[in-house]
Amino acid sequence: MSTPKFDSVAVGDQPIRLEADPISRTTLALYAGASGDHNPMHIDIDYAKAAGQSDVFAHGMLSMAFLGRAVTDWVPQTAIRSFFTRFTAITRVGEKIIVTGKVAEKMQSGAENCVKIELSATNEKGEAKANGEAIVALA
């Protein structure tokens, strides 16, 4: 991976884009195993229906993982200085998550050149699922 240079990015650039495969029941089961989050709302359709849902739905942290993966596809993990996410809607089985990121600000943080990236995760219809922000250091 070639790390972008601070001087090569500008406010408004959109260097981040990730299109994940549609969420499947297998994705949810694998994520539950990997994360240790076995909440039945995410893996047991009978439980989800008894709770008033039409089906199981994705873990919020899975959406956050897609945001994080999109950032680390652009810069190495060691360049991340902060990262946060706000969940905005449930992600349903079959939805395809699309992550985009835009340079919102260039700044100095101590002796480092950093950029603030505004992140958005939507489904294929453009419905917001999660938003976030990352501060990354660039040489």
Q: What is the pLDDT along the chain (139 residues), one digit of tens a residue?
A: 688 999 999 999 999 999 999 999 999 999 999 999 999 999 999 999 999 999 999 999 999 999 999 999 999 999 999 999 999 999 999 999 999 999 999 999 999 999 999 999 999 999 999 999 999 999 9
Q: Write down the CATH number for the domain with range 6-23+57-137.
A: 3.10.129.10
Cβ neighbours for 9, distance < 8 A, ≥ 6 positions apart? 15, 103, 106, 115, 138
Indicate the burial class of 67 (C-beta count within 10 angstroms; 0-12, 13-18, 19 or more). buried
> Please, what's the b/e burial string for 6-30 (b: 16 or more CB within 10 A of its CB; e: otherwise)?
beebeeeeebbebebeebeeebbee
| pLDDT at residue number 110 | 93
- Tell me, what's the pLDDT at 95? 98
Decide: 99 and 121 in contact? Cβ < 8 Å.
Answer: yes
Closest by CA to 27, choosing from 63, 70, 51, is: 63
Whole-prediction pTM value?
Answer: 0.94
